[in-house]
A = this chain, B = another copy of it.
């Protein structure tokens, strides 16, 4: 059973899928150092109706599925987990990209780790001052299926500002120091190929790859599911960065309907919870989710989250 059943795709939590399939081969990846890790949401599942399966193969790293849904457009699924639907991807892509980009006064060099569907790249290229975008995606198959089946997301892959590397983000960072104004980690959950992107040593490499006024933005899971993991990420990042903030937005097809964004800055005086620049009318007209007020409001957290994160 892989989630495709009777005309519907069902996204189970990886641990529930193991139980349904009677295998526990990967369950050790779900727990680490006593922390509840992301990538698990036992006891709940989300389904989309499938019109047509467009692509389904195993890459070197993961199971890659693209299907046409009846009401959410084309849908990208990696290892059984929905990564993006054409209907609501703009919320995640815009927030993960524009929170750090508008918090930065003048972002010229940007690095994207992951982001193979191209959605983050599309958003970064909306900023005219960006001179060069470097992207490091481990799985070339994701880029290829995005080019073919997700044209609205992958429209930036031919841009002359792009330097594209296919390889491991962790290894890439070891050779790049003080180079980027903004780094965006657009990863899947910490189960499978993205596992190393949630550890302390990864964030230390990110800090070193940023310029002195550099800002980092990372996929930060959901406060409804992974509050312990989020508290853990924030705690160790406060040892690495002088400025650490957590925001969130609604992304309706992600588990529990929300996604968080961990935004860190190397400059202690940089307040990432407010934009540093005005959103020009020409950019605003291209945005469906983000605006300056949404930027500020993203960092206002429900009381139970404030309590848990000591904010």
Contact = CB atoms under 8 A, between A and B. Distances in A.
B44 A44 contact: no
A134 to B, nearest CB: 28
Nearest to A257: B257
Contacts of A43: 48-49, 69-72
Interface string A291-311: 101101100111110100000
Interface string A39-57: 0001111111100000000
A250 interface: yes
Contacts of A70: 42-43
Interface stretch (A174-182, A210-218, A282-290): A282-290
A86 interface: no
A121 to B, nearest CB: 20
Q: How many identical chains are in the complex?
A: 2
Contact of A44 (B47, B90, B250, B291): B47
**Interface size class of chain A, counting residues whose CB lies under 8 Å from the partner chain:** 35 or more
B46 A45 contact: yes
A260 B49 CA distance: 25
Interface in A244-289: 248-254, 256-258, 284, 287-289
A91 interface: yes
A228 interface: no
Contact of A16 (B49, B69, B287, B303): B49
Contact of A224 (B222, B250, B297): B250
Interface of A: 8, 10, 16, 42-49, 69-72, 88, 90-91, 222, 224, 248-254, 256-258, 284, 287-291, 293-294, 296-297, 300-304, 306
30 contacts: A8-B45, A10-B47, A16-B49, A42-B70, A42-B71, A43-B48, A43-B72, A44-B47, A45-B46, A45-B47, A46-B46, A46-B47, A47-B47, A90-B304, A224-B252, A250-B250, A250-B256, A250-B257, A250-B258, A252-B256, A253-B256, A256-B257, A257-B257, A288-B304, A289-B302, A289-B303, A293-B300, A294-B302, A294-B303, A296-B297
